[in-house]
Structure formats: structure tokens, C-alpha cells
Structure 1
Amino acid sequence: MAKVDIKMPDDFLEKLAHLASDEDGMAERVLNAGAEVVEARVRSNLAGVIGRGTKVESRSTGQLLSALGTSGVKLDRQGNHNVKVGFAESRRDGDSNAKIANILEYGRHGQPAKPFLKPAKSASKSAAIEAMKRKLEEEVQSK
């Protein structure tokens, strides 16, 4: 039976060990970099559709736009890191921000759809991936 002995440079092994020790923090920073890109695109699209194309003057209070944000990075059951861009749920009138966003996105009887989430997802996907790649490379270089 053949035997192979591979020797790695010590500095490379130390760098790998250091990267592994900060895996959770690095994943959080990389995901947040991508989430920033997506949130900015959603915010831009949402601001563009609020009050547009209405038959009566808009009654927008600005609550939906101000409720838009990014969650913290969380670990799911499979050990994957996740971050979500969405809406906080507190409104002064008792309605749900998710409901209002859903009505804007898909419309309802007498109110045409004004999609802002799906176009933001499509438009920001590659930019978010690139931002996360840059952040990951930056993290690896700094270690």
C-alpha cells in the first residue's frame, strides 16, 4: 500500500485555522453586504410605486417605507446562515406591513398590482452576489 505525506506551509495552515475560528462572524458580515444591496433596491422600487397611478390622492403615511429593514443573521436548523429583507410589523393603525406590501405587490379588487419586490429581487441578485464575493475576498485577505 502506498503512503502519501503532504506538508503544508505553516502560515497557510494558521490562516485556515484563523478563518475557521471566525466562520460565523465572517458569514454574518458577508451576508449583510449582500443584504445592503437588496434592501437599497427594494427601498428604491417601493418609493417609486407608493402613490403612483392612483385615482385619488395618495394617503401614504410613510410607515411602510420606514418599516423596511434587514433582519439579523440567523442560523436555521440545517446550520445555514440566513438574512431577510422585509418589513417590521408595528403600525399605528393596527394593520400588518406585510399585508400592505402584499396588496401593493399583487393588487386587489379595484387596485392594480404595483410590483416592487419581484423586480428588486431580479435586478439585485447579481449585484448582491458580487458584493458578497468582494466582502468574502476582503475578509480572507485581512486574515
Structure 2
Amino acid sequence: MAKAVIKMPEDFLLKISRLGEKTDEILLRILKAGGEIVEAKVKSNLQGVIGSGTKEESRSTGELISALGVSTAKQDRDGNFNVKVGFSEPRVDGKSNAMIASVLEYGKSGQPPKPFLKPAKSSTQKACIEAMKQKLKKEMENI
């Protein structure tokens, strides 16, 4: 049987070993970079749908847009790291930001849907992955 031995460059092996020690903190920064791309698109979509196509003048206070943000990266029970783009609670008027966003996204009786989340998700997937790749490259260079 043939046998092959491949020796990796010394500096590459050192980077990989250092990466192993800092994996958790690097993952947090990489996921945050991707989440910021999605957040920016959701915010621009949301600004475009609030108050558009209504019979009456918009009563928007800007509270929903200002409540939009990216969570810190957290590890779930399966060991996967995740960030979430969503709305913080509570509102000043006592209503739920999630409920208001849901009504905008899916509509209700007498109010047509104005999707802003789903289009943001589908349109930013490639850009989000690319931003995370670039952040990983920067992190690898800094090690």
C-alpha cells in the first residue's frame, strides 16, 4: 500500500492552533458582521413600507425602527452559534413591537401585507456570507 506524508507550513500550523484557542471570540465577531448586513437591509425595507399605501396619514412614531437591532451571538443547545435580527421590547405605548412588525409583514383584516423581513432575508444571504468570509480572513491575518 502506498503512503503519502504531507507537511504543512509551520506558520500555517501555528495560526490554526491559535485559532483553536480563540474560536469562540472570533465566531462572535464574524456572526455580528453578518447580522449587521441583514439589519441594515431590514431597516431600509421597514422604512420603505411604514406609512406607504395608506388611506390616512401615517401615525408612525419611529419607535419600531429604533427598536430594531442585532442580538449578541449565543450558543444554542445543539452547539450552534446564532445571532438574531429583531425588535427589542417593550414599547412606550404598551404594545408589542413583534406584534406590530407581524401585522406589517403579514397584514390583517382590512390591511394588506407589506413584507419587509422575508425580502431582506432572501436578498442579503450572499452579501451576509461574503461579509462573514471577509471578517474571517481579517481575523486569520491578525492571528
- The interval holding the TM-score normalised by the smaller chain is over 0.9
Q: Which amino acid in 2 is paired with 1:99?
A: M
* 3-state secondary structure, aligned to 2:86: strand
Deviates more, 1:3-12 or 1:111-120: 3-12
Which residue of structure 1 lines up, in the alignment, with residue 27 of structure 2? 27
What is residue 11 of structure 1 aligned with on the other side?
11
Task: Report sequence identity in percent.
Answer: 62
The CA distance in 2 between the partners of 1:109 and 1:3, in whole Å, is: 70
Counterparts of 2:125 and 2:30, CA distance in 1 = 14
Aligned-residue RMSD, C-alpha: 1.6
- Answering whether residue 62 of structure 2 is matched by residue 50 of structure 1, we say no
Judging changes above 3 Å, is the alpha-carbon distance between structure 1 residues 127 and 3 closer, same or farther for their aligned structure 2 residues?
closer
Listed one character per residue, the Cα deviations across residues 37-79 of structure 1 (whole Å, up to 9, x for unaligned) are 0000000000000000011111111110000000011011111
Gap runs ≥5 in structure 2: none
Look up the equivalent residue of 1:105 and give its one-letter code. E
Alignment match, 1:132: 132
Aligned partners of 1:103 and 1:124: how far apart in 2? 22
- Offset, 1:11: 2.7
Q: TM-score, normalised by structure 1?
A: 0.93
User: Which letter does structure 2 place at the counterpart of 1:51?
Assistant: G
Deviation track 1:95-137 (CA, whole Å, cap 9, x = no partner) reads 1100000000000001110000001111111100110111111
The number of residues matched between the two structures is 143
In 2, Cα distance between equivalents of 1:114 and 1:9: 54
Secondary structure at the counterpart of residue 65 of structure 1: helix
Gaps of 5+ in 1: none
The change in CA–CA distance for 1:67 and 1:12 in structure 2 (over 3 A counts) is same
With the length of structure 2 as denominator, give the TM-score of the two structures.
Answer: 0.93
CA–CA separation in structure 2 for the residues paired with 1:121 and 1:9: 40
Shift of 1:141: 1.7
Question: Displacement, 1:12?
Answer: 2.7
Superposed structure 1 runs of 4+ greater than 3 Å apart: 1-10
Deviation at 1:13, TM superposition (A): 2.4
